[in-house]
């Protein structure tokens, strides 16, 4: 199996100790809630290889409980130097200049730019977009979609000549529904060609809502997409994650998706925090040479964690244990 991502020499990695398909870092949580003196919590954050190390955009909710995103740098993917000041976007003339809140960023390099997609407050949640070259200056683009929407995740290359995005239409609250859709844009401003990808409900862990997690990983078998799935228990929402495989040329076509979750909240740091029982992946560093994947996920809406897996094992598992398509 081929993974079409660049090699990452110094990626964060720990060998598997047991038999799980995805295993947790012994260093979890790698970023604690009080990593910044001003932070209430740091979670659901996105990182990418950058120069000889890594850069990222972090969801830092402050002690006023305002949701902000901050840039950060790391040489090893574990120890992060996060800017104590939130990102202040440069807004070009003619682009909507409005800020309410920002959360759940995803970051991806497309051609020569690093793009950030996040849940942007504009009369409710929608998908904000910006780009940077250096993780110091961020140029804001127009919001991609109308409110209400969450989990906007760009593909790492154009598809059929257009930029492409997965997203999840929602409502303004703690949405109790959610299906995944695909959209295309020639210029990152005007979006269309909207296609349904997958609805919630295929198995109990994903019965209430689903949404894309990290940026899709291109392989010769299709796009590997980790996604969160939510069920409603007597104690509220429980966030798990699994993975799906999408057609390479028509990524709205699902080739398979995990019937069983790959991770559910089970450790103390996933079950105890501001929102108990949440594992929420927003980034994956993938080494094109070995197919090793380091997943960054938020735990209990409080801290940031790492887990590891192999692309070929996850794809084999999807094929052998899929929901009915
Ligand atoms: C979603 C978002 C996520 C969060 C999740 C669980 O609506 O707010 O950031 O992890 O709820 O609280």
Q: Residue 219 maps to which CATH number? A: 2.115.10.20
Identify the burial level of 85 via C-beta atoms within 10 angstroms of its C-beta, where 0-12 means exposed, 13-18 middle and 19 or more buried.
exposed
Atom of ligand 1 nearest to the CA of 275: 12
Contact partners, residue 190, CB within 8 Å, separation at least 6 = none
Q: In this structure, is residue 14 part of a structural domain?
A: no
- Residue 162's domain spans which residues? 23-320
Q: How many CB atoms lie within 10 A of CB 189?
A: 13
- What pLDDT does residue 235 have? 94
Q: Does 325 reside within a domain?
A: no
Q: Contact 32/303 with Cβ under 8 angstroms?
A: yes
Per residue in 87-144, pLDDT tens?
999 999 999 999 999 999 999 999 999 999 999 999 999 999 999 999 999 999 999 9
Gap between the Cα atoms of 150 and 103, Å rounded: 10
Q: Supply the residue whose CA is at minimum distance from atom 10 of ligand 1.
A: 301
Other C-beta atoms closer than 10 Å to the C-beta of 65 total 9
Domain assignment of residue 5, yes or no? no
Reported as a pLDDT band with limits 50, 70 and 90, residue 318 is very high
Protein residue with least CA distance to atom 9, ligand 1: 104
Assess if residue 72 is contained within a domain.
Answer: yes
Residue 12 maps to a domain: no
- In percent, the amount of the chain with pLDDT more than 70 equals 100
Residue 122 lies in a domain: yes
Using an 8 Å Cβ cutoff, are 80 and 93 in contact?
A: no
Q: How many CB atoms lie within 10 A of CB 108?
A: 21
Within a domain: 8? no
Ligand 1 atom 2: the closest Cα is on which residue? 104
Residue 3 lies in a domain: no
Q: Please, which pLDDT band fits residue 251 given cuts at 50, 70 and 90?
A: very high
State how many domains the chain has. Answer: 1
- 279 C-alpha vs ligand 1 centroid, how far in Å? 10
- Residue with the smallest CA separation from ligand 1 atom 1 is 174
Q: Are 283 and 260 in contact (CB under 8 A)?
A: no
* Beta bridge pairs of residue 189: none
| Ligand 1: lining residues by beta carbon, under 6 Å | 44, 103-104, 239, 275, 278, 280, 298, 301
Tokens 């961020």 label which residue? 138
Buried b or exposed e, range 27-42, using 16+ CB within 10 angstroms: ebbbbebebbeebbbb
Q: Whose CA is nearest to atom 7 of ligand 1?
A: 174
pLDDT in tens, 74-90: 999 999 999 999 999 99
β pairing state of 222-233 and 217-219: antiparallel
Q: How far is the CA of 238 from the centre of ligand 1 (A)?
A: 10
């Amino acid at each position: 199996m081929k993974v079409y991502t660049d090699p990452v020499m110094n990626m964060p990695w720990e060998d598997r100790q047991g038999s799980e398909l995805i295993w947790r870092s012994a260093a979890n949580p790698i970023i604690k809630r009080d990593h910044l003196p001003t932070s209430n919590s740091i979670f659901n954050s996105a990182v990418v290889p950058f120069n000889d190390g890594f850069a990222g955009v972090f969801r830092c909710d402050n002690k006023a409980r305002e949701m902000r995103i901050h840039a950060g740098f790391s040489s090893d993917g574990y120890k992060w130097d996060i800017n104590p000041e939130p990102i202040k976007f440069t807004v070009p003339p003619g682009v909507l200049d409005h800020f309410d809140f920002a959360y759940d960023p995803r970051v991806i390099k497309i051609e020569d730019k690093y793009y950030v997609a996040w849940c942007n407050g504009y009369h409710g949640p929608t998908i904000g977009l910006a780009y940077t070259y250096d993780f110091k200056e961020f140029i804001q683009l127009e919001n991609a979609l109308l409110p209400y929407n969450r989990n906007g995740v760009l593909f790492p290359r154009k598809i059929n000549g257009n930029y492409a995005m997965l997203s999840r239409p929602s409502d303004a609250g703690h949405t109790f529904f959610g299906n995944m859709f695909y959209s295309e844009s020639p210029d990152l401003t005007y979006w269309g060609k909207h296609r349904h990808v997958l609805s919630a409900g295929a198995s109990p862990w994903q019965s209430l809502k689903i949404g894309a997690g990290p940026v899709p990983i291109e392989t010769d078998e299709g796009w590997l997409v980790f996604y969160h799935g939510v069920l409603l228990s007597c104690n509220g929402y429980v966030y798990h994650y699994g993975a799906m495989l999408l057609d390479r040329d028509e990524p709205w076509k699902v080739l398979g998706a995990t019937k069983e979750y790959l991770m559910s909240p089970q450790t103390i740091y996933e079950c105890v925090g501001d929102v108990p029982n949440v594992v929420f992946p927003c980034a994956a560093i993938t080494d094109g040479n070995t197919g090793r994947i380091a997943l960054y996920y938020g735990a209990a809406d409080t801290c940031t964690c790492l887990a590891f897996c192999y692309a070929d094992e996850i794809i084999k598992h999807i094929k052998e244990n899929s929901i009915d398509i």
